[in-house]
Amino acid sequence: MNRFYGLFGIKMMRSMLSIGALLSMASGFAFAGENVTTDTIVRALQPKPLTRSLSLTSAPADPVATAEKARFVANLRNRKTRSLSSGEREEIANFAADRPNIDLEIAFDYNSADISASSLPNVQALGRALSDPNLKGSTFVVAGHTDAAGGERYNQDLSERRADSIKRYLVDRFGIASNDLVTVGYGKSKPKDPNAPMDPANRRVQVVNMANKTASE
């Protein structure tokens, strides 16, 4: 009986996934718990303006590098999750490292990409945030991650399906433009805590504002 409940507990743990990313700003990383608000998400995902002192001391942006990044983001739009190569997935991770983002806790049904009813408020808050005039028109990466339980191929597929599930919900329920949401799966290859690969914190989906507005500002 104890062995049964132990196995059941492991299976239930695998059914959890959270939305999030590590903020690479000076403020550290932002984590939003169960009662996240739309305003919290908007503030976290909105690009931070340069202060006057920083603009005076910072080196001017390289126009070639800026153009290359713009082309990279444009190429991601309307790409299907499974069409991305491992090299492109890695490039997305590197490019997104210094972009504004936030952690949200999202749970899914066991062995499924169906969003649990208890997590719908957080996903709905995300939908309202991405509809905000300060964010609407940007390109967002929705990247799925899992913990180390299970095989590599299984986790890769699960992370992709759950990222796609979030995208479908945002498109269908909030009218977010499909091209503005780029989904990618990393399986268990990029744990949030490498020292604790089975930690639930590793089960997440990263939402990153690539800050490449298509709408007029």
The more confidently predicted of residues 96 and 13 is 96
Interatomic CA distance for residues 179 and 79, integer angstroms:
8
Is a pLDDT exceeding 50 seen at residue 11? no
- Chain segment 98-126, per-residue pLDDT in tens: 889 877 777 777 677 888 888 899 899 99
**Contacts (Cβ under 8 Å, ≥6 apart) of 138:** 180, 209, 210, 211, 212, 213, 214
Q: How far apart are CA 128 and CA 131, in angstroms?
A: 5
> Residue 27 pLDDT > 50, yes or no?
no
| pLDDT at 20 (0 to 100) | 42
Nearest Cα to Cα of residue 131 among 38, 66, 212: 38
Q: Which of 67-76, 189-198, 203-212 has the highest mean pLDDT?
A: 189-198
pLDDT beyond 70 at 23: no
pLDDT range class, residue 34, cuts 50, 70, 90: low
| Strand-strand pairing, 31-32 and 101-107 | parallel
In a 3-state reduction of DSSP, which class is residue 99? coil
For the entire predicted model, the pTM comes to: 0.75
List b or e across 182-199, with b for residues whose CB sees 16 or more CB atoms inside 10 angstroms.
bbbbbbbbbbbeeeeeee
Q: What kind of fold does domain 2-209 have according to CATH?
A: 60s Ribosomal Protein L30; Chain: A; (3.30.1330)
C-alpha angle with apex 188: 184 to 189, nearest 5 degrees?
80
Amino acid at 48: K
Report the distance separating Cα 141 and Cα 206, nearest Å: 7
Residues recorded for the chain: 217
Is the four-CA dihedral 184, 100, 135, 76 of positive or negative sign?
negative
Please state, rounded to an integer, the average pLDDT across all residues of the chain. Answer: 77
Q: What is the pLDDT of residues 125-183, one digit of tens each?
A: 999 999 999 999 899 999 888 888 889 999 999 999 989 999 999 999 999 999 999 99
| For range 10-39, the mean pLDDT | 49
Instruction: Supply the Cα-derived Rg of the chain in whole angstroms.
Output: 18
